[in-house]
Copies of this chain bind each other. A is one copy, B any other.
Amino acid sequence: MNKVVKIGIVEDHVLFREGLRYVLSANHGFEIIMEAGNGREFLEKLELQQPDVVLMDIDMPVMNGIEATALALQKYPGLKIITLSMHSDYGHYKKMIDSGACGFVLKNSGVNQLTEAIFEVVKGNSYFSQELLMNIILKKETPPASAELVRQLEISDREMDVLHHICQGLSNKQIAEKLFISIKTVEGHKSKLMLKTETSNNVSLVLFSIKNQLIEI
């Protein structure tokens, strides 16, 4: 299986496209058989000839890469489409995956990565730039420093105890029994918590705690 990989480039920036053609041509395993400046143009040219692998930009005029990918795969399910974008956020990643792309390489990656991505998808695997994946994971991590917030709001240890129990869905009575204090005391702590978090009832207090990662759910 050492035949030449036929590649299509869909990218609106002419200079970038030319650079891409140049660096990929250096590899004798690749042959660029098609170029398009937007999704619509790509779909038209796709009727004439089908590449093995398509390098697809996302942001393009007339028709973007997300639509183009979905439509192209509808007609030619065997196509391997690698997203080539500068966006490394989850939204773009998700949309391209949903459209059927089997790879995602960032524009600021080296040629090596792109080359590897092409080889991987030809083999039937998927390839996603490490940088992209790590970026997504990092962004998904808890943004606010919860311990920090607890200090800022001046929530005491005992109040945190009560808060944890509230966020388990326990009633004041149940919490009182668990902590060996009266219901009234639980209510007292809860009132303080609602004051400090500027919430008005049980639910909004729990929502605040979840949103600000004061508790785990």
Task: Using CB atoms and an 8 Å cutoff, list the residues of chain A in contact with chain B.
Answer: 90, 127-128, 130, 133-134, 136-137, 140, 166-167, 169, 171, 199-204, 206-207, 210-211, 217
User: A90: which B residues are within 8 A, CB to CB?
Assistant: 137
Provide 5 A-B residue pairs closer than 8 Å at the C-beta atoms, listed in order of the A residue: A136-B137, A137-B137, A169-B200, A203-B206, A206-B206
Which residues does chain B contribute within 8 Å of A207, judged by CB atoms?
Answer: 167, 169, 206, 217
* A140-B140, A217-B210, A217-B211 known; A169 vs B204 contact (CB < 8 Å): yes
**Option from B130, B166, B167, B203 in Cβ contact (under 8 Å) with A133:** B130
Identical copies in the complex = 2
Q: Is there contact, CB below 8 Å, between B203 and A169? A: yes
A interface: dominant SS = helix
Contact B128 A171 (CB under 8 A): no
Instruction: Report B-chain residues with C-beta under 8 Å of the C-beta of A128.
Output: 130, 133-134
**Nearest chain B residue, comparing its CB with the CB of A204:** B169
Closest to A136 in B: B137
Within the assembled complex, what's the spacing in Å between the Cα atoms of A140 and B138? Answer: 12
Instruction: Please name 20 further chain A to chain B contacts, defined as beta carbons within 8 Å, in addition to the given A128-B134, A169-B204, A202-B202, sorted by A numbering.
Output: A90-B137, A127-B130, A130-B130, A130-B133, A133-B133, A133-B134, A137-B137, A137-B140, A140-B140, A166-B203, A167-B207, A169-B199, A169-B200, A169-B201, A171-B201, A201-B202, A202-B203, A203-B203, A206-B207, A207-B217
